[in-house]
């Protein structure tokens, strides 16, 4: 992880990210492996894209005072664009951001045997921006609020979209002939919220890159170690593929590109994804759900396997977590591919020093990193054993393994 963290300012689409990809490709090379650096184009500045949409919503709120119809149309468009960008990475605001070239490092182990389930072990290796919104005070406040409602809350994008819908409702009421002071106050409150959101987004869009040692050099390190261990002692029924993605911080552009390319060439019907979130400090967690807009649940069967493993190995201290951000496995789950995310979190449910200038290699807790490797290896063994139990049934019905994968996809 220290070697990857040495590539400072390795933000999405930067020269440092390209050099880091080549370095990772060299590190991942080995006997019976095929390594490919996969270049793709993307628009990774999601904060600037959403800032355009927030600005459109603010303009719509102001215009609605003079023309409710025109302002309402602008607010409706802004809400739709926010949702589209958060779920697909495509929107008019995204088209107004710079396009950059990024790279995925794809490592395939040449394990003989037909009819294997492909297990993609993935983590992003790029560094995120160190914006004000990631300061400990704001993050701790958000964590406490989420704890009070036991995680039943949308992510920040969800709040942004709700504020725009709230403003749109007040505009509709104005069209119905309501012009009270209470209605104007009701419109002012979400308008101020969106204005604050716009300020944070603009600051984040131009902020400097964090060192990214914990988030997410540690995830990439755990993924690489898992891949090496499984190459030495390969599972019986799994084809292991290591995918280290560029432009992954924030919205997972690298994994989205890779999965789209795979669907065009070979399909993804026989695929499972294990995403490695930061493993810098704290206890091992598996994500039950995640998403900055509306929370998306991870595969129930994989969550059940992780829960069973945690009960059998209490010394690892692993536990579930309901996230409201974006893990390296989230794009796969949105594509309805069986997926689960693993990582380490502190007592607040946060990644320590994430997106901060203090996220350096010296601050990483090696013990937490090693626990994540251990739990990941055990989970892969559990997935392989589950497939083995299906194969060992006295009467094997056609398509049973495919049925298990369909069960993983169910929500």
pLDDT value, residue 387: 84
- Residue 115 near residue 236, CB atoms below 8 Å: no
Band of pLDDT at residue 362, cut at 50, 70 and 90: very high
* Mean pLDDT, range 318-333, rounded to an integer: 92
pLDDT tens-digit readout, 190-202:
999 999 999 999 9
pLDDT value, residue 395: 38
Asked if residue 358 has pLDDT above 60, the reply is: yes
Domains of the chain, CATH where assigned: 2-45+101-130+212-409 (3.40.630.10), 48-96+138-205 (no CATH)
Q: Can you tell me whether residue 137 is helix, strand or coil?
A: helix
In angstroms, the CA 320 to CA 80 distance is 32
- 32 vs 78, residue with greater confidence: 78
Distance of CA 285 to the CA centre of its chain: 15
Band of pLDDT at residue 394, cut at 50, 70 and 90: very low
Asked if residue 407 has pLDDT above 60, the reply is: no
Cβ burial of 144 (10 Å; 0-12, 13-18, 19+) is exposed
- Residue 267 near residue 301, CB atoms below 8 Å: no
pLDDT tens-digit readout, 203-259:
999 999 999 999 999 999 999 999 999 998 999 899 999 999 999 998 899 999 999
- 158 vs 57, residue with greater confidence: 57
Percent of the chain with pLDDT over 70: 91
pLDDT value, residue 375: 97
Asked if residue 291 has pLDDT above 50, the reply is: yes
Neighbour tally for 395: CB within 10 Å = 5
Asked if residue 187 has pLDDT above 70, the reply is: yes
pLDDT tens-digit readout, 13-27:
999 999 999 999 999
pLDDT value, residue 398: 39
| CA angle (235 as vertex; 232, 236 as ends), nearest 5 | 125
> Beta strand 117-124 with 271-276: parallel, antiparallel or unpaired?
parallel
- 169 vs 141, residue with greater confidence: 169
* Mean pLDDT, range 253-277, rounded to an integer: 86
Which run of H or of E encompasses 59? Answer: helix 46-66
pTM: 0.91
Nearest Cα neighbor of 194 from 61, 353, 305 is 61
* Mean pLDDT, range 267-277, rounded to an integer: 85
Asked if residue 400 has pLDDT above 80, the reply is: no
pLDDT value, residue 268: 57
In angstroms, the CA 187 to CA 196 distance is 15
- Residue 255 near residue 122, CB atoms below 8 Å: yes
In angstroms, the CA 125 to CA 110 distance is 24
């Amino acid at each position: 992880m220290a070697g990857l963290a040495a590539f400072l300012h390795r933000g999405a689409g930067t020269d440092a990210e390209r050099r880091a990809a080549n370095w990772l490709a060299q590190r991942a090379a080995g006997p019976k492996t095929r390594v490919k650096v996969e270049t793709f184009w993307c628009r990774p500045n999601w904060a600037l894209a959403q800032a355009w949409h927030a600005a459109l919503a603010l303009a719509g709120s102001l215009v609605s005072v003079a023309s409710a119809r025109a302002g309402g149309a602008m607010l409706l468009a802004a809400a739709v664009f926010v949702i589209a960008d958060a779920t697909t990475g495509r929107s008019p605001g995204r088209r107004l951001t710079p396009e950059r070239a990024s790279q995925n490092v794809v490592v395939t182990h040449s394990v003989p045997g037909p009819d294997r389930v492909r297990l993609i072990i993935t983590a992003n290796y790029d560094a995120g921006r160190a914006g004000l919104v990631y300061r400990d005070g704001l993050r701790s406040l958000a964590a406490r609020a989420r704890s009070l409602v036991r995680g039943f809350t949308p992510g920040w994008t969800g709040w942004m979209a709700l504020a725009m819908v709230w403003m749109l409702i007040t505009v509709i009421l104005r069209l119905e002939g309501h012009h009270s002071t209470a209605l104007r106050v009701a419109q002012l409150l979400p308008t101020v919220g969106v204005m604050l959101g716009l300020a944070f987004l603009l600051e984040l869009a131009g902020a400097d890159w964090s060192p990214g040692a914990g988030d997410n050099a540690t995830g990439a390190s755990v993924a690489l170690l898992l891949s090496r261990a499984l190459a030495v002692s390969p599972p019986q029924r799994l084809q292991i593929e290591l995918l280290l993605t560029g432009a992954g911080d924030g919205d997972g552009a690298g994994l989205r590109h890779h999965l789209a390319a795979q669907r065009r060439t070979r399909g993804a019907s026989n695929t499972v994804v294990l995403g490695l979130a930061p493993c810098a400090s704290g206890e091992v967690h598996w994500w039950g759900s995640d998403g900055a807009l509306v929370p998306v649940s991870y595969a129930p069967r994989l969550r059940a396997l992780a829960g069973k493993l945690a009960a059998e190995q209490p010394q690892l201290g692993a536990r579930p977590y309901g996230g409201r951000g974006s893990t390296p496995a989230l794009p796969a789950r949105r594509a309805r591919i069986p997926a689960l995310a693993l990582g380490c979190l502190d007592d607040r449910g946060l990644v320590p020093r994430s997106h901060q200038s203090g996220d350096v290699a010296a601050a990483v807790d090696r013990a937490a990193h090693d626990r994540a490797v251990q739990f990941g290896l055990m989970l892969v063994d559990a997935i392989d054993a589950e497939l083995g139990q299906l194969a060992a049934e006295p009467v094997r019905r056609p398509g049973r393994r495919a049925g298990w994968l369909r069960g993983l996809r169910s929500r």
